[in-house]
Amino acid sequence: MAQNFLSKLVGSFSQGAADNPTVAMIEAAFSHHNLDIRYINCEVPPDRLRDAVNGARAMGWIGFNCSIPHKVSVIEHLDGLGESAAVMGAVNCAVLRDGKFIGENTDGKGFLQSLREVVDPGGKTVVMFGAGGAARAIGVELALAGAARIIIVNRGKERGQALVDLLNTKTSAKAELVIWQGMCKIPKDVEIVVNATSVGLYPDVDARLDLDPESLRAGLVVADVIPNPPRTWLIRQAEDRGCDVVDGLGMLVNQGVIGVKYWTGVDVDPLVMRDKLEEIFAA
């Protein structure tokens, strides 16, 4: 019987790739479901991103992830965009379709799936810190899910205003910008708080959002996109004050499930991936 020694390939392009556990999570799912696919985790600086995408084409990859700092800049190197990625202007997952790399975004969908395990954002008021690629994805998905008001808190006016304008023109949500200067307090009418920045990401685990923790209160839903470590300063502060919390592991697992579905058509078991991540972070 003939054997096939040519595995299908997917992977990730980012900076800080050595700290990204996605490879372990995805390969655990591939193994569990007996999928002959390898996930290649690659350190790619911005000036080599075009080469990386062309290399994936040359090697016949069926798709790849993009993480910091490539989620927006990768678009110019792709052949097209899926609907949600086109609205967001950010891509974290490329999929080979009919010989072309099409950009999709699973960040927002993965986040929304995790959030909905705690609260439905429909009709809610949200404060979101950050305006980068992940924030754009999350903001759009929250708006499309019916969030009534989204307050973007960002230090830079230009990028923050661009996200606000996007939400106001492309969705029914009402968005506004607050320039992040000094200590930020969460208004009492806010129901959901989201950290969509990289503050607290390993190895800078002691970094803190410039946020007054005393403004967090019981009944507030607090979500952090940081998967490593799962229990960030924000998550710990929120738990101490009786908030309902959503950690970054859920978003990472759910976007992985969606990405594998895009690449293979297979629905993988999310518990296999979460168990692998919990094993890694407990070490």
Structural tokens at position 227: 């998967």
Distance from the Cα of residue 43 to its chain's centroid: 18
71 tagged catalytic: yes
Within 8 A by CB and 6+ apart from 98, the residues are none
Pick left, alpha or beta for residue 58 (phi over 0 → left; psi -120 to 50 → alpha; otherwise beta). alpha
What's the CA gap between 173 and 260, in Å, rounded? 30
Pick the catalytic residue from 8, 71, 109, 157. 71
Q: Which residues pair with 164 in a beta bridge?
A: none
- Cβ atoms of 235 and 227 closer than 8 Å: no
Contacts of 198 (CB under 8 A, 6+ apart): 68, 226
Joined together, the tokens standing for residue 14 give: 């980012």
Q: Where are any strands of DSSP class E within 88-224?
A: 93-97, 100-104, 125-129, 149-154, 174-179, 192-195, 221-224
User: 3-class SS at 267?
Assistant: coil
Count other C-beta atoms under 10 Å from residue 79's C-beta.
Answer: 15
The catalytic residue positions are 71
